[in-house]
């Protein structure tokens, strides 16, 4: 092989190295970019009578400095971090609201009972009665404000779920497009990898994982993506988009629906995703917060509001007001709500009301009611305890509530959700319109005694809630649990951030662009280019010398 050809192979190799290195330098801060490197090998040798003489150098390909293990590790850690960050962003809000122990529900209940004691000491004093009535409104206002805050947070989460699903579908669309571009590129050049397209697809997948943790399977140069327990979102270039809508069980909640193909004509049906299977990404964090914190807090605050209001109503009803009439209700307490599942076939309507002694029986739970075609089953969801199984629900007692069936015909598979107290903080109100209606007296001492007010005051220290907690103990537990959950999440975020940082460092050590290294490679390729040019120049001089001989 002549010198000119040897010089040309070296020149082409140097040019390839210069191009690759320059490409790396150009993209050192491009999101998702993986450092590329030029692979070369000897071009072999030619046999001659005096030995084997080399044919120079050959460029094999340009490849990514890529490890699927390191990349997957980083993506998974980022997905976990996104979940914790989304959860923390929500729980910090309610923690900030509850953290001030000088205002809010706890102090207002204490102030209410201070007012009760003042009326008990001087039941005929109109100022004491008016002050207690004002404090009654303050308690209601505090419950209402916290209830509205929790409802507002639910609404914000619903909006974020909508936005998350929109983003998920956008990523799926881009990944599908990249699938097609990669297949086309491989069709044109099957022996080499379209590195930049692969980087773009990996980056889209990593961004998708920060919203929701997905499973990725690669086959025939295309990726398929599934979520949760295997629900397909992308099969090569076929997208099955997610949608959102009200929950069939609880219309207040926006939930995620998967699109599932049925039949051979392209028909699809919508199926609600099991949100407990969504274990990563910001969407997973929002759903986890709503399920494990927001709804728990709403039920427990609702239990406290309802038990407090019903116990005070019951206590006031035992006494006499200033006119000698039996005491009326302090508070208007909303009735339990039985909501039929939107997919029910039957049309049975259920209602519920509180029993007269409900204050101590109410639980911080919702209830699932199911009809199997023969019997109804009522299950308390907080502990999955079956409270009732029978052919009817008429008159059935459920933790201080009584059910009533108002006509209609059931169908096997029909479901209802019974919400006892979650809505109470928002809807509770003051029923008493006149301070004279406070029934401070008992029946034995005349209207001027404060014996019944003394009995009311004792409720402050009684274990009213389930026979295990006072009002203040109940609220303190709510505040403390949220505080502990917020603190635990902060610790988990710090730990997860450390893992993510470590994963990022490991991935970047292999795949990241180091400008100093690239400068060295650039200089080496430049030297190779100049040397190759010199080989060609020498070859040209020698050829000219030969041609000049006569």
Task: Specify burial of residue 50 (Cβ count, 10 A radius: 0-12, 13-18, 19+).
Answer: exposed
For residue 262, what pLDDT is reported? 78
- Residues 448, 455: contact at Cβ < 8 Å? no
For residue 526, what pLDDT is reported? 92
- What does the pLDDT look like over 370-403, one tens digit per residue? 999 999 999 999 999 999 999 999 999 999 999 9
Q: Look at residue 542 and tell me whether its pLDDT is greater than 90.
A: no
Q: Look at residue 1 and tell me whether its pLDDT is greater than 70.
A: no
Residues 345, 241: one domain?
A: no
For residue 427, what pLDDT is reported? 92
Residues 341, 401: one domain?
A: yes
Residues 266, 201: one domain?
A: yes
Residues 189, 272: one domain?
A: yes
User: pLDDT band for position 550 (50/70/90)?
Assistant: low
| Phi, psi angles (nearest 5°) of residue 120 | -60, -35
Ranges 5-19, 281-295, 432-446, most confident? 281-295
More confident residue, 548 or 15: 15
Residues 280, 347: one domain?
A: no
Q: Is 50 helix (H, G, I), strand (E, B) or coil?
A: coil
Q: What count of residues does the chain have? A: 550
Residues 220, 278: one domain?
A: yes
Tell me the average pLDDT across 221-225. 94
DSSP 253: S
For residue 279, what pLDDT is reported? 86
For residue 44, what pLDDT is reported? 87
d(C-alpha 417, C-alpha 368), whole Å? 5
- What does the pLDDT look like over 75-123, one tens digit per residue? 999 999 999 999 999 999 999 988 877 778 999 999 999 999 999 999 9
Residues 234, 340: one domain?
A: no
Residue 199 belongs to some domain of the structure: yes
More confident residue, 541 or 276: 276
Residues 354, 281: one domain?
A: no
Q: Provide the percentage of residues in the chain whose pLDDT is more than 70.
A: 99
Residue 138 belongs to some domain of the structure: no
- Residues 140, 430: contact at Cβ < 8 Å? yes
User: pLDDT band for position 64 (50/70/90)?
Assistant: very high
Residue spans of alpha helices (H) in 238-355: 281-289, 295-317
The residue among 220, 253, 286 that closes a domain is: 286
Residue 211 belongs to some domain of the structure: yes
pTM given for the model:
0.89
Tell me the average pLDDT across 463-491. 93
Q: 254 is in which domain, residue-wise?
A: 159-286
Tell me the average pLDDT across 294-299. 94
Residue 148 belongs to some domain of the structure: no
Residue 369 belongs to some domain of the structure: yes
The residue among 376, 391, 422 that closes a domain is: 422
Tell me the average pLDDT across 49-56. 87
- Residues 260, 248: contact at Cβ < 8 Å? no
- What does the pLDDT look like over 496-524, one tens digit per residue? 999 999 999 999 999 999 999 999 999 99
Residues 280, 340: one domain?
A: no
Token pair, residue 115, equals 């007012």
Residues 280, 345: one domain?
A: no
d(C-alpha 548, C-alpha 234), whole Å? 70
Tell me the average pLDDT across 348-366. 93
More confident residue, 267 or 163: 163
- Residues 29, 203: contact at Cβ < 8 Å? no
Residue 357 belongs to some domain of the structure: yes
Tell me the average pLDDT across 211-236. 92
For residue 513, what pLDDT is reported? 95
For residue 260, what pLDDT is reported? 85
The residue among 253, 269, 286 that closes a domain is: 286
User: pLDDT band for position 430 (50/70/90)?
Assistant: very high
Residue 505 belongs to some domain of the structure: no
Residues 279, 354: one domain?
A: no
Residues 417, 353: one domain?
A: yes
What total number of domains does the chain contain?
A: 3
Residue 197 belongs to some domain of the structure: yes
């Amino acid at each position: 092989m002549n010198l000119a050809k040897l010089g040309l192979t070296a020149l082409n190799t140097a040019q390839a190295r210069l191009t690759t290195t320059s490409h790396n330098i150009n993209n050192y801060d491009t999101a998702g970019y993986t450092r590329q490197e030029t692979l070369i090998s000897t071009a072999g040798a030619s046999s001659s009578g005096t030995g084997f003489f080399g044919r120079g150098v050959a460029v094999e390909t340009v490849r990514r400095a890529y490890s699927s293990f390191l990349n997957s590790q980083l993506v998974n850690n980022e997905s976990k971090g996104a979940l914790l960050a989304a959860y923390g962003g929500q729980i910090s809000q309610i923690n900030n609201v509850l953290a001030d122990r000088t205002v809010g529900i706890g102090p207002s209940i204490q102030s209410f009972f201070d007012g009760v004691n003042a009326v008990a000491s001087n039941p005929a004093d109109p100022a004491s009665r008016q002050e207690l009535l004002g404090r009654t409104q303050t308690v209601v206002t505090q419950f209402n404000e916290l209830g509205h805050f929790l409802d507002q947070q639910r609404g914000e989460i619903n909006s974020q779920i909508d936005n998350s699903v929109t983003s998920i579908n956008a990523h799926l669309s881009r990944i599908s497009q990249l699938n097609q571009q990669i297949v086309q590129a491989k069709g044109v050049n099957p022996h080499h990898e379209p590195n930049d397209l692969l980087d773009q697809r990996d980056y889209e997948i990593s961004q998708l994982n920060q919203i929701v943790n997905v499973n990725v399977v690669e086959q025939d140069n295309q990726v398929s993506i599934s979520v949760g327990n295997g629900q397909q979102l992308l099969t090569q270039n076929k997208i099955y988009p997610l949608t959102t809508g009200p929950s069939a069980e609880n219309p207040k909640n926006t939930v995620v629906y998967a699109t599932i193909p049925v039949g051979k004509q392209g028909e699809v049906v919508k199926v609600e995703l099991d949100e407990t299977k969504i274990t990563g990404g910001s969407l997973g964090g929002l759903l986890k917060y709503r399920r494990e914190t927001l709804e728990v807090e709403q039920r427990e605050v609702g239990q406290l509001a309802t038990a407090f209001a019903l116990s005070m109503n019951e206590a006031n009803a035992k006494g006499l007001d200033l006119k000698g009439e039996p005491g009326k209700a302090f508070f208007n307490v909303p009735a339990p709500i039985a909501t039929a599942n939107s997919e029910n076939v039957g049309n049975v309507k259920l209602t519920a009301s509180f029993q007269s002694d409900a204050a101590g029986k109410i639980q911080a739970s919702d209830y699932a009611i199911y009809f199997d075609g023969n019997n109804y089953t009522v299950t308390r969801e907080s502990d999955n305890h079956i409270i009732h199984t029978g052919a009817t629900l008429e008159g059935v007692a459920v933790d201080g509530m009584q059910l009533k069936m108002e006509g209609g015909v059931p169908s096997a598979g029909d479901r209802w959700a019974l919400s006892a107290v979650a809505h109470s903080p928002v809807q509770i109100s003051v029923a008493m319109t006149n301070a004279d209606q406070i029934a401070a007296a008992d029946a034995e001492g005349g209207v001027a005694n404060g014996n019944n007010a003394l009995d009311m005051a004792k409720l402050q220290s009684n274990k009213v809630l389930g026979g295990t907690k006072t009002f203040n103990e109940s609220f303190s537990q709510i505040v403390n649990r949220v505080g502990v959950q917020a603190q635990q999440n902060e610790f988990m975020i710090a730990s997860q951030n450390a893992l993510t940082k470590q994963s990022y460092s490991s991935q970047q050590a292999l795949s990241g662009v180091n400008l100093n290294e690239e400068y060295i490679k650039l200089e080496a390729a430049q030297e190779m280019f100049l040397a190759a040019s010199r080989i060609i120049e020498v070859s040209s001089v020698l050829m000219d010398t030969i041609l000049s001989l006569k």
